[in-house]
A and B are shown apart, each in its own frame.
Chain A
Amino acid sequence: MVFYLVSIFIVAFIALYALMAVWAERKVSAYMQNRLGPMETGKFGLFQTFADIIKLIQKEDIVPTAADKALFFIAPVLVFLSVFMGFAALPVTYGYISSDISLGVFYLLAVVSIEVVGILMAGWSSNNKYALLGSVRSVAQIISYEIPAVIAVLSVVMLCGSLNLQDITMQQGIYAADPIYFLGIWKVNAVGGFPAWHIFQAPHLLIAFFIYFTASLAECNRAPFDIPEAESEIVAGFHIEYSGFKFAALFLAEYAMMFLVSMIAVVLFLGGWNTPLPNIGSLALADWTSGVAWGVFWIIGKSMVMVLIQMWVRWTFPRFRMDQLMSFCWKVLIPVSFGCMLISAIWKLAVI
């Protein structure tokens, strides 16, 4: 029963979140450019995206004559599904995870990769040169950037000794069973809060976190890695021929993907549903702000902050060129992430 309730809650939450995130993105970009963004629909334009989605659903579902009809239909479903399947293995709060599988991290990385197939399908079946170019770029980019992301994740997993995301989260707060150390020197089991997070447990995990964050931007096809959707070059990339509900599904999946990678980053590096507030002497902030409801609040709150940072990055940096993108991935991120993994191995043997 709880399983179904939580599943429905997650789907409803993600749909609502995606609408609000689109609105937030428009607002963030507007504020950065001295504009106001949507203002007319509701207070501060809050209902703008609701009006947009109603319009999208009403629209005629156009399928290009030359398109591969079956693939054209399957592609958005596949993209949408692959993103939503990822949420199954993520811990929602203390003691609750929808699918408590011992290979959680592996499952997540695998399921998120399916999105690439959907994007390639969308680009190929549209029978449009821009769509094909966009999807080819997207595939090249996502597959390349998955390597540093996975290696960065591995350096966490090596320290934890577990692939279960709930176990990984448990080791980053006051509920940890094993001794945990801030920077490998100060035992913080009783303190909890942000010093117990993985990025502070070992200094190289901070670098691993930045590598994962950068690679996750590329996996979401977001600026500065948005050449698959580069508006000024190839119009909209792989989803150029999509309209109506299918486009809405692709759009929703894109924003859900942002949330998913943010949530993965939060679970692996930023303490998951653990509180960021530490116990300071008799001021037991961590004890007061831990629990089932607090857990939901913290994990969603932290993920939202990460999504906001993604938007911030998007509206700050210009787009990479294809060769810059690839050389940055293969010549910088991958060697550094391998270095992180090596340090993790040494850290595991020498420090803890």
Chain B
Amino acid sequence: MGNADHIKRNNWLQRLTGLWRGMLLTLSYTIRRGKRKNAGPKSDQYFEQVQGTVTLQYPHEKLPVPENGRYQLHVEIDDCIVCDLCAKICPVDCIDIISIKSVEDMGKTSDGTTKRLHAAKFDIDMGKCMFCGLCTIVCPTECIIMTDEYDRSFSDPKELIYPFSFMTEAEAEEKRAALAKSEAEKKAAKEAALKAAQEAKKKAEDQ
């Protein structure tokens, strides 16, 4: 800050004291060290970390994040009605859902919506996700949420695809078979009813 103007060219005493002041400055930094305060963005001192160590030994210590942080997605699959709205609104198509209609009573979600579909597959590819949060907005039962977890690393990119429905292929096949059977039964019953109706009509006409 204009220091160079004040120092006269041949003032060696001033130069020496300048050097000494520099040495004292680094020494004071060496001595005046506190542990880094894990303040986090909520703290008033968040922007005042000029003193003390700035290093955050990351995997061992983390800055606190808000509980309602908007990081990785989580699906509470018991509350999901498999409406596929999240997959439809996702700008990067990272949600992959396969649904199977249910034949028996599936119960209700925690907010009272009736569940009518099985989720044979509910995968979210975190590698693709851009954390826009649109899926959480459209979800009618609020079963898809963003969590405060932000750090998960994997050696295989396939592991970034998080499964939320753990239905096996056999179970899915069973459900499909049950659906096909019930549909066939319904169709047969419908045809039988139609036939009976037609016969009744014919009889009436005959009479």
Contacts and interface: CB of A to CB of B under 8 A. Distances in A.
Interface of A: 28, 30-36, 39, 312-313, 315-317
Pairs A-B, 10 closest by C-beta atoms: A36-B55, A316-B26, A31-B30, A32-B26, A34-B54, A35-B55, A316-B22, A32-B29, A316-B23, A32-B30
19 contacts: A30-B55, A31-B30, A32-B26, A32-B29, A33-B29, A34-B29, A34-B33, A34-B52, A34-B53, A34-B55, A35-B53, A35-B54, A35-B55, A36-B57, A312-B23, A312-B26, A312-B27, A316-B26, A317-B22
Contacts of A32: 26, 29-30
A198 B55 CA distance: 43
B19 interface: yes
B57 A39 contact: yes
B23 A313 contact: yes
| Residue of A39, A312, A313, A316 ringed by the most chain B CB atoms within 10 A | A316
B29 A31 contact: yes
Contacts of A317: 19, 22
Contacts of A34: 29, 33, 52-55
B19 A31 contact: no
Given A34-B55, A312-B26, A313-B23, 7 more contacts: A30-B55, A31-B33, A32-B29, A34-B54, A35-B54, A36-B57, A39-B57
Nearest to A317: B22
B57 A28 contact: no
A313 B57 CA distance: 28
Interface in B49-65: 52-55, 57
Nearest to A31: B30
Interface in B17-37: 19, 22-23, 25-27, 29-30, 33
A44 to B, nearest CB: 12
If over half of B's interface residues share one DSSP class (helix, strand or loop), that class is named, otherwise mixed; here it is: helix
A300 B128 CA distance: 59
Contacts of A31: 29-30, 33
A68 to B, nearest CB: 41
Contacts of B30: 28, 31-32
Contacts of A315: 26
A36 B34 CA distance: 11
Contacts of B52: 34
A36 B53 contact: yes
| Residue of A36, A312, A313, A317 ringed by the most chain B CB atoms within 10 A | A36
Contacts of A30: 55
A317 B23 CA distance: 8
Nearest to A37: B55
A31 B22 CA distance: 15
A316 B21 CA distance: 10
B3 to A, nearest CB: 14
B124 to A, nearest CB: 33
A317 B53 CA distance: 21
B137 to A, nearest CB: 42
A35 B55 CA distance: 5
Interface string B51-92: 011110100000000000000000000000000000000000
Contacts of B54: 34-35
Nearest to A39: B57
| Residue of B26, B54, B57 ringed by the most chain A CB atoms within 10 A | B26
A34 B54 CA distance: 6
B37 to A, nearest CB: 13
Contacts of A33: 29
A31 B30 CA distance: 5
A59 B191 CA distance: 81
A30 B33 CA distance: 11
A31 B53 CA distance: 8
B27 to A, nearest CB: 7
A340 to B, nearest CB: 16
B20 to A, nearest CB: 10
A28 B57 CA distance: 18
A61 to B, nearest CB: 31
| Residue of B25, B27, B30 ringed by the most chain A CB atoms within 10 A | B30
Nearest to A28: B30
Nearest to A309: B23
Contacts of A312: 23, 26-27
B8 to A, nearest CB: 16
Nearest to B35: A36
Contacts of B19: 317
Contacts of A36: 53, 55, 57
Contacts of B23: 312-313, 316
Contacts of B57: 36, 39
